[in-house]
Amino acid sequence: MKIAILGAGNVGGALGAAWARAGHMIAYGVSEPGKPAHAAVAAAAGGARVGTVADAVRDADAIVLAVPWGAVPAAIAACGDLAGRIVLDATNPLTFENGALSLSLGFDTSGGEQVTALSKGAHVFKTLNQVGYEVMADASGFPTPPTMFVAGPDGAAKQTVLRLVADLGFAALDAGPIAISRLLEPHAMLWIHMAMAKGAPRDGAFALMRKTGAAG
């Protein structure tokens, strides 16, 4: 598939390289095309195109938001009409206060719901926000594949997103509608807390495991 990734930083770079290995075509949309750092990211993603956000999304089958939370409104606005498009929202609405990262909103709304409101008519899915970029770059090597929840509207678009997430090596799991972002963003915050405050490895991930021999 043709995947537009908005943001060529840690997350954008990791996802682009991993999806390129799985056979997808990547185009990056950035606010300032031409920065020297983009060349290595593009090369690692199979020789990806790097351009404006409008260029990247033009012929994309799926669009991934991988920009800082504060840049989300500008990145979405730069896409133009998103009606009917598939948007994967990998962002977390983080703020830095009193020396620590925390969520800037919740628990009666969520970043995923705000992205949905901004992306008029798009099929928006909260996913790929739940582990560090190191795991997104390479989800292999775990005793059981790490779980990656997907929250968003039911239908063909959700099946596409579940496949794209599985192509990265995750156990992709449908978590329900976009309002479940209210749970998935704090779930990401737990991962961040464990990594930043409790010494958990940045290449660690959570997995919803089944007992050996469980039916179904």
Ligand X SMILES: NC(=O)c1ccc[n+]([C@@H]2O[C@H](COP(=O)([O-])OP(=O)(O)OC[C@H]3O[C@@H](n4cnc5c(N)ncnc54)[C@H](OP(=O)(O)O)[C@@H]3O)[C@@H](O)[C@H]2O)c1
Q: Is 114 in the site for ligand X (CB under 6 A)?
A: no
Among 1, 2, 21, 31, binds ligand X (CB under 6 A): 31
Q: Which is nearest to 29 in space by CA: 45, 59, 7?
A: 7
Smallest distance from ligand X to CB 155, Å: 25
Size of the site for ligand X (CB under 6 A): 27
Among 3, 6, 150, 189, binds ligand X (CB under 6 A): 6
Helix (H, G, I), strand (E, B) or coil at 2: strand
The per-residue DSSP string of 48-91 comes to: -EEE-HHHHHTT-SEEEE-S-GGGHHHHHHHH---TT-EEEE--
Q: Which two tokens stand for residue 56?
A: 């990247």
Give the nearer residue to ligand X in terms of CB position, either 130 or 167.
130
Q: d(Cα 74, Cα 79) in Å, to the nearest integer?
A: 9
Q: Is 133 in the site for ligand X (CB under 6 A)?
A: yes
Among 4, 50, 60, 75, binds ligand X (CB under 6 A): 75
Among 3, 5, 8, 137, binds ligand X (CB under 6 A): 8
Binding piece for ligand X, criterion CB under 6 A, among 114-122, 126-134, 139-147, 171-179:
126-134
Give the nearer residue to ligand X in terms of CB position, either 39 or 154.
39
Q: Which two tokens stand for residue 86?
A: 């598939």
Q: Exposed, middle or buried, 180 (CB in 10 Å: 0-12/13-18/19+)?
A: buried
Closest-CB residue for ligand X?
A: 9
Hey, what's the torsion of the CAs at 119, 40, 171, 76, to 10 degrees? 0
Smallest distance from ligand X to CB 213, Å: 34
Question: Among residue numbers 151 through 180, which ones bind ligand X (CB under 6 A)?
Answer: none
Give the nearer residue to ligand X in terms of CB position, either 28 or 86.
28
